């Protein structure tokens, strides 16, 4: 397999995942109280939304690179 085809396959998979999950979520932990042996932490879940157009662009770019890699 040529490197351009591999990059195309990675973009295609990333585009499909972007359409399926439509965002990235992560959790942050912050220490609120620390008094001797007592420790209280707060966990916040935040997300970065991905619009569907990002997934579509990834799929189209991946297919384009795969086609270009097979024609050379």
Mean pLDDT, rounded, for 7-28: 93
Q: How many residues does the chain have?
A: 72
What six digits make up the tokens of 21? 């999950």
Residue 27: φ, ψ to 5°: -115, 135
SS3 38: strand
Whether the per-residue pLDDT at 17 is higher than 90: the answer is yes
Residue 32's H or E segment, with its range, is: strand 23-35
Q: Using 50, 70 and 90 to split pLDDT, how confident is the model at 36? A: confident
72 vs 14, more confident: 14
Q: Is the pLDDT of residue 7 over 70?
A: yes
Q: Are 51 and 23 in contact (CB under 8 A)?
A: no
Distance CA 1, CA 4 (A): 8
Q: What is the mean pLDDT of residues 32-44?
A: 90
């Amino acid at each position: 397999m040529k490197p351009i085809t591999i990059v195309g396959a990675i973009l295609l998979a990333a585009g499909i995942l972007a359409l399926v999950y439509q965002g990235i979520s992560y959790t942050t932990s912050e220490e609120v109280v620390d008094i001797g042996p007592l420790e209280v932490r707060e966990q916040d879940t935040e997300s970065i939304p991905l619009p569907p157009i990002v997934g579509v662009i990834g799929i189209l770019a991946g297919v384009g690179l795969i086609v270009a890699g097979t024609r050379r």
